[in-house]
């Protein structure tokens, strides 16, 4: 990410991230992010139109697993079920 970032861009909630943004959110290089995706440490992106995007929440969930280990990952399988 280069160039000047506007206040509006900083204040909007981020639901999806591009590859370089997802890597920057973890303070790692895009190349290392690619490695983590291929190893299953990070989620795969989704291609929408001509853009590949990562769900910001999923990246955060995977980070918690990396940070704390598998045993402390408190991911509820029912979180994404709509009743």
The string of pLDDT tens digits covering residues 15-61 is 999 999 999 999 999 999 999 999 999 999 999 999 999 999 999 99
- pLDDT of residue 79 exceeding 80: no
Distance CA 39, CA 35 (A): 6
Q: How far is CA 43 from CA 11, 21, 24, 82, in A?
A: 25, 14, 15, 22
The structural architecture, per CATH, of the domain 12-70 is Orthogonal Bundle (1.10)
pLDDT at position 83: 66
**What integer pLDDT is reported at residue 81 of this predicted model?**
76
pTM of the model: 0.71
The token duo for 68 is: 């704390």
Taking 3-state DSSP, the helix, strand and coil percentages for the chain, each rounded to the nearest 5, stand at 45, 10, 40
The token duo for 75 is: 């991911």
Domains of the chain, by residue range, sit at: 12-70
User: 56-77 pLDDT, tens per residue?
Assistant: 999 999 999 999 886 555 566 6
What pLDDT is recorded for position 69?
84
* pLDDT at residue 28 in the model: 97
Residue of 35, 36, 29, 46 whose CA lies nearest to 67 = 36
């Amino acid at each position: 990410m280069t160039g000047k970032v506007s206040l509006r861009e900083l204040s909007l909630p981020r639901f999806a991230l591009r590859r370089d943004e997802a890597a920057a959110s973890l303070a790692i290089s895009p190349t290392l992010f690619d490695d983590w995706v291929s190893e299953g440490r990070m989620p795969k992106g989704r291609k929408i139109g001509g853009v590949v995007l990562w769900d910001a929440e999923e990246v955060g969930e995977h980070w918690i697993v990396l940070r704390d280990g598998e045993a402390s990952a408190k991911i509820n399988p029912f979180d994404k079920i709509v009743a």
